[in-house]
Amino acid sequence: MRKKTEKSTALEGSGDMKIMDYMKRYDYEELVFCCDTGVGLNAIIAIHDTTLGPALGGARMWPYQSEEAAILDALRLARAMTYKSSAAGLNLGGGKTVIIGDTAQDKSTGLFRSLGRFIESLNGRYIATEDLGTSISDMQHIRAETTYVTGLPLAWGSSGDPSPMTSFGIYHGMKACAKAIFGSDSLQGRTVAIQGFGKVGSHLARHLRYEGAHMLVADINEEAIKRAVEEFGATPIKPNEIYSVDCDIFSPCALGGIINGQTIPRLKCRIVAGGANNQLGEEKHGDSLQQKGILYAPDFIINAGGVINISVELTGYNVDLARTQVAEIYHTVEKVIALAKSERISTARAADKLATDRIEEVRKVRRIYLKK
């Protein structure tokens, strides 16, 4: 698998879509366009890589402004899933579905059943789960047409809401970072600044409270802040001040792209460890954090708890097994830190290397077998 920076693609905003070039550049396997005018389905399934196993990834519904934007989102998100599952040691590949539509107006049983038939036609190469704009009940409609779907109701033997496991993994990843920086993985007395007190942020707070950490919390939602203060004794911080507060650990649990040229100079933390996807504005910002002496826990390594949880569902869900596997994120973070040190690269680049090396290793073994 080759790694190239996002900059060198001609896909985004150019009006000149070179989809095949983009797919070749990043080694994509398949892009499926799903249209069913009878039910208003316009969806794209991107399968990035199935070397390690079936491509697992959410089915997202969003009113994309253009087909180009939808295709690019599906492609990028599918590749991110390949990296996340590979680095987590799962036998899964990366895929994603994007449904172009407005969740308030365009959802119907027929639409999701139709998508289910498209997923079924892929014969298990792609497994769907819920994502932004889709819910458990949407997954139930897909399930009427295919078994290649997860994120179903708990009563159906499913793993339920992934957020608690995502936060449990972030907590373990944070502890591994604390060990590397402070010499002890105890978070007692540490100050953690949390950006975003939604599902992930609030479940994380339960673990931090248990450890005796002090929490500074910023959210644009007043209700979320009220809960953080009343239930967890957190100190409220204005959303635009969260980057510059004095703290040991900054934990982004809201938006992507927030580690960038504007925010890095303001950071006063020693560690960045949070659940938000795609935290780095660009790959080079991982290097900037390293140069500033801040340890970055790569997002797809420490927020993999949700996908690890779902992977357990695929073989018969067992919550204890899921927790044990999610807690392994501690050791994965340690591995990333060690690799970054030995290769003299940032942890962000080390995480990418960990993910791609595992896939290359399996490909190499396959090539050897094919020659025999």
Catalytic (active-site) positions: 96
> Which 8-state DSSP code applies to residue 58?
E
> Contact between 150 and ligand NAD (CB under 6 A)?
no
What contacts 123, CB < 8 A, 6 or more positions away?
none
In the structure encoding, which two tokens stand for residue 201, read together?
Answer: 């942020």
Q: Which of 110, 124, 239, 257 binds ligand NAD (CB under 6 A)?
A: 239
Closest CA to 81 of 68, 98, 67: 98
φ, ψ of residue 271 to 5 degrees: the values are -140, 140
- Cα separation, 341 vs 359, in Å, equals 22
> Contact between 277 and ligand NAD (CB under 6 A)?
yes
What contacts 358, CB < 8 A, 6 or more positions away?
52, 86, 87, 89
Report CA-CA distances (Å) from 145 to 35, 47, 211, 215, 348: 16, 20, 45, 45, 39
Q: Which of 89, 160, 275, 281 binds ligand NAD (CB under 6 A)?
A: 275
From the CB of 175, what's the least distance to ligand NAD, in Å? 18
> Contact between 217 and ligand NAD (CB under 6 A)?
no
Is residue 160 within 8 A of residue 89, CB to CB? The reply is no
Between 198 and 236, name the residue whose CB sits nearer to ligand NAD: 198
From the CB of 184, what's the least distance to ligand NAD, in Å? 27
Q: Which of 14, 221, 262, 324 binds ligand NAD (CB under 6 A)?
A: 221
Between 28 and 243, name the residue whose CB sits nearer to ligand NAD: 243
Q: Which residue is nearest to ligand NAD (CB)?
A: 198
Which residues, 165 to 204, sit near ligand NAD by CB under 6 A?
166, 195-201
> Contact between 220 and ligand NAD (CB under 6 A)?
yes
> Contact between 311 and ligand NAD (CB under 6 A)?
no
Q: Which of 193, 249, 306, 359 binds ligand NAD (CB under 6 A)?
A: 306
Between 86 and 114, name the residue whose CB sits nearer to ligand NAD: 86
Between 32 and 90, name the residue whose CB sits nearer to ligand NAD: 90
Q: Which helix (H) or strand (E) holds 95?
A: strand 93-100
Is residue 294 within 8 A of residue 139, CB to CB? The reply is no
Closest CA to 92 of 331, 372, 343, 312: 312
> Contact between 236 and ligand NAD (CB under 6 A)?
no
Q: Which of 218, 269, 271, 302 binds ligand NAD (CB under 6 A)?
A: 218
Q: Which residues bind ligand NAD (CB under 6 A)?
A: 162-163, 166, 195-201, 218-221, 224, 239, 253-256, 275-277, 303, 306
